[in-house]
Structure 1
Amino acid sequence: MKFVLFYLPTVGTKAQFEKGMAGINNQNYQNMLRQISAQVRAADEMGFYAVAFTEHHFHIEGFEASNNPLLLDLYMAMQTKYIKVTQLANVLTFQNPIRLAEDIAMIDHMTRGRIIVGIARGYQKRWADTLGQLYHVGATLSDKSEMDIRNRRIFEEHYRIMIKAWTEDTFRYEGEWWKIPPDDVDFNHEAVRKYGRGIDERGKVVEIGIAPKPYQKPYPPIWQPFSFSEETFRFCGREGIVPFMLNTDETAIRNLMTAYYDEAAKVGRQYSWGQNIGIFRDVLVAKTDEEAHQWASIGNGFVWPMWFGGLGFDEALRRQGESGSLRCQYPELVERGFEYVGSPDTVNRYIEDLVKKFNPEYLLMWQYPGLVPHEEQMRSLELFATEVMPNWMD
């Protein structure tokens, strides 16, 4: 198994959150950068596989102050030697796919192949509907609504453009939203004729290409979080993308994995059970179960019910056949199996059960700097690396 640290990141302590507007406090942000840097440097030395950041905007409250995960990736990569960096995820629907393909290729070179690409569709309406105005698209809840269908079409078009940009020296593309290059672009330049390509005999641009191409060939690995949708898992199976799931219900997990492998097999990809699959859990280790739950209850125990539960994440914890509304607090997160929290022995037993049932290739581990004191986070990483991780590494 490969172990991946996931940072939102939160900005501020619980007391600072409760005062309001913690996300715009400069010292809070500096403290976050300092603490996560120290944690990631330690994780690099301890042998963790990767560190991941998310993309969300307008987080004045402080919950997910991570506008650009690529910048955070580069910042952490420049301080480390081995640990891979990823984004969970770049929200493709609201970005210029050519610019994003270029940025990723550059960072792939700057890190000499330590980057993994993360892609997603976007679910938070406050920022997604604001930034999606150009394409007249907004957030999606995978509900088969008109907006959900439009969001998926734009997402897949942007994905196709990025793949072409990475894999073809020069390319053309004509889709529902993009025509690359547009008609009648005049660039009758002798240097292009002598040293490049992509213009016709009239000097009109007929193809474009990005430079550099990715360091990794044909392009970096691609991951996708955190869909509950079978359609997304089938898309990932066709494309060889690693999906990450929040689900805790065993039947739901099994059904999504089966859909993934069924679709992969249709295009000739054969995987063993658990291969190319990621599971997402809140992970915190302390000397005793009681101490670990004390800290986790002010980490995810605060953030989940205050922020994520109201954004639809409770659905990931729904049991097969269960009806009615969910509003999960920390005890429900524990009881439903999302919290891998406790002593090293307890966390080992959680992972042992996970391996027996699903054997995922990746475990994504939620971390809470700021809310959980830095020294407790560092102690958790050390306990996990020395007393848990060696039992399960590939």
Structure 2
Amino acid sequence: MRFSLFMYCTVGRRAELEAGMAGRNPVLYQRMLDEIAEYVRFADDAGYFGFGHPEHHLQIEGFEISNDPKLMSMWLGRHSKRLRVITCGFVSTTHNPLRVAEDIATMDHMLGGRFGVGLVRGYQARWVENFKIRGELNAVGPWNKDQPADVANREYFGEFVDIVVKALSSETFSHRGKYWTFPPDGMVNPHDHPVYVKYGQGVAPDMRIDEIGIAPRPLQTPHPPLYGGFAASMRTALFWAKYGGKPIVLTDNLDFYGQLCTAYTAEAAKHGRTIRNGQQAAWGGIFICAPTDAQAQEWAKDMMWFWQSWATPFGQGVPELLIGSPETISRRLDEVKRLLPDQDEVVLLIPQGLHDRSQILTSLELMATKVMPRFAA
């Protein structure tokens, strides 16, 4: 097993969040950046596999102040040497897919081939509705599941991912879809430019542009590893099987998770992909490790308050709880290993921001020294 950390980019402790408007407090934001940098350095040295974060905007309350995914990824990259930096991910309805593909390729180089990237649909309506690039698209969640808005968002997302993957994997390409056309129909460069013809591709001598390509190409081949965001449905897992993307599934239902992995393998085969068992998805949950179970449960109170205050209203159920002493967490991982013997990546959602620095570092150190060695590949 390889263990990756994930954070929400929470700017303050519970009392600071409850005071209101914590996301607007520059002192808290500076402290958050400094704490994250220390956690990343520790994780890098301690043998963790990756470190991830989401994309969310307009977060004046400070519960999930992650903003531009590229900037936070560079912050993580600046303070690490070997960790996979996982942006999870670019919210499709608020981005041009060509721009995202260029960003991914560029980030992959700047991080020396350590970049992993998620592409997601977008569920936080307040910011998605203000940032979206097409008026007919909306944020999605339990409130509009399987309704026209959900169907349109899912259809758009499929085309978005197609374009991003095509741009990352191709020298040049064209795309004609419902939502995007690249290059625009009948596009002709307005002035003659021989460099396009002599040294490039996709431009005819009469300056007609038939295909486009991004630069640079990614450092990793064919592109950085793809992640599917926090997924809880079989349909999402099957979608990612087409692309070899790895959905992150935070669930305590291991039977469902095992069924998901089996279905993923079968769906991937339909698209000519052979997936090694254990690579279908990343499994995990909320993580707090303390010297004793009682102390871990006491520490967990603020994280559960956070979940009930922030995640539950979005329709997110309580995930797997990896909360306890090293012995307790090891027993749960033993059970996971028994039921899912080849499981590769485990994602630990840490209460960054809510817990003070010493609590987080204690959790990470106990995990790294007393649990991870038992499950090393």
2:23 maps to 23
Q: Give distance in 2, aligned partners of 1:236 and 1:186.
A: 36
- Measure how far apart 1:162 and its partner are: 1.1
Q: Give distance in 1, aligned partners of 2:223 and 2:329.
A: 35
User: Does residue 1:274 correspond to 2:278, yes or no?
Assistant: yes
Q: Give distance in 1, aligned partners of 2:82 and 2:68.
A: 22
The answer to which of 267-276 and 34-43 deviates more is: 267-276
TM alignment of 1:1-394, pairs within 5 A: 1-132=1-132, 134-141=134-141, 143-187=145-189, 188-298=192-302, 300-314=303-317, 317=318, 338-359=320-341, 360-394=343-377
- Measure how far apart 1:257 and its partner are: 2.3
CA-to-partner distance for each residue in 1:344-390, whole Å, 9 max, x for gaps? 11111111111112242111111122211111101111111000011
- Measure how far apart 1:89 and its partner are: 1.7
- Measure how far apart 1:270 and its partner are: 3.9
CA-to-partner distance for each residue in 1:118-147, whole Å, 9 max, x for gaps? 111111121222322525111123722111
Q: TM-score, normalised by structure 2?
A: 0.94
Q: Give distance in 2, aligned partners of 1:224 and 1:102.
A: 19
Instruction: Give the alignment's Cα RMSD to 1 decimal.
Output: 1.6
Q: Give distance in 1, aligned partners of 2:376 and 2:215.
A: 37
Tell me if the contact between 2:168 and 2:217 (Cα under 8 Å) persists in the aligned partners: yes
Matched residue SS, 2:98: helix
The answer to which of 136-145 and 155-164 deviates more is: 136-145
- Measure how far apart 1:279 and its partner are: 1.0
CA, structure 1 residues 270+214, in 2 after alignment: closer, same or farther (shift >3 Å)?
closer
Percent of pairs with identical residues: 37
Tell me if the contact between 1:283 and 1:365 (Cα under 8 Å) persists in the aligned partners: yes
The answer to which of 281-290 and 356-365 deviates more is: 356-365
Residue identity in the other structure for 2:238: R
Tell me if the contact between 2:93 and 2:134 (Cα under 8 Å) persists in the aligned partners: no
Tell me if the contact between 1:54 and 1:68 (Cα under 8 Å) persists in the aligned partners: no
Tell me if the contact between 1:273 and 1:358 (Cα under 8 Å) persists in the aligned partners: no
Q: Give distance in 1, aligned partners of 2:132 and 2:311.
A: 21
Q: Give distance in 1, aligned partners of 2:186 and 2:265.
A: 45
Q: Give distance in 2, aligned partners of 1:233 and 1:306.
A: 27
Q: Structure 1: state its 5+ residue gaps.
A: 318-332
Tell me if the contact between 1:296 and 1:372 (Cα under 8 Å) persists in the aligned partners: no
Q: TM-score, normalised by structure 1?
A: 0.90
Tell me if the contact between 2:113 and 2:219 (Cα under 8 Å) persists in the aligned partners: yes
Q: Give distance in 2, aligned partners of 1:192 and 1:250.
A: 54
Q: Number of paired residues?
A: 372
Matched residue SS, 1:197: coil
- Measure how far apart 1:116 and its partner are: 0.8
Matched residue SS, 1:98: helix
Matched residue SS, 2:230: coil
CA-to-partner distance for each residue in 1:247-301, whole Å, 9 max, x for gaps? 2223432332232122123234344543332112111111111111111211x21
Tell me if the contact between 2:251 and 2:285 (Cα under 8 Å) persists in the aligned partners: no
CA-to-partner distance for each residue in 1:292-331, whole Å, 9 max, x for gaps? 1111211x212110010111112xx5xxxxxxxxxxxxxx
Residue identity in the other structure for 1:373: D
CA, structure 1 residues 136+122, in 2 after alignment: closer, same or farther (shift >3 Å)?
same
Residue identity in the other structure for 1:390: P
Tell me if the contact between 2:203 and 2:209 (Cα under 8 Å) persists in the aligned partners: yes
Matched residue SS, 2:287: strand
- Measure how far apart 1:339 and its partner are: 1.4
- Measure how far apart 1:110 and its partner are: 1.0
CA, structure 1 residues 249+181, in 2 after alignment: closer, same or farther (shift >3 Å)?
same
Q: Structure 2: state its 5+ residue gaps.
A: none
Matched residue SS, 2:132: helix
Q: Give distance in 2, aligned partners of 1:272 and 1:212.
A: 30
Q: Give distance in 2, aligned partners of 1:194 and 1:274.
A: 47
Q: Give distance in 2, aligned partners of 1:144 and 1:230.
A: 14
CA, structure 1 residues 141+256, in 2 after alignment: closer, same or farther (shift >3 Å)?
farther
Matched residue SS, 1:297: helix
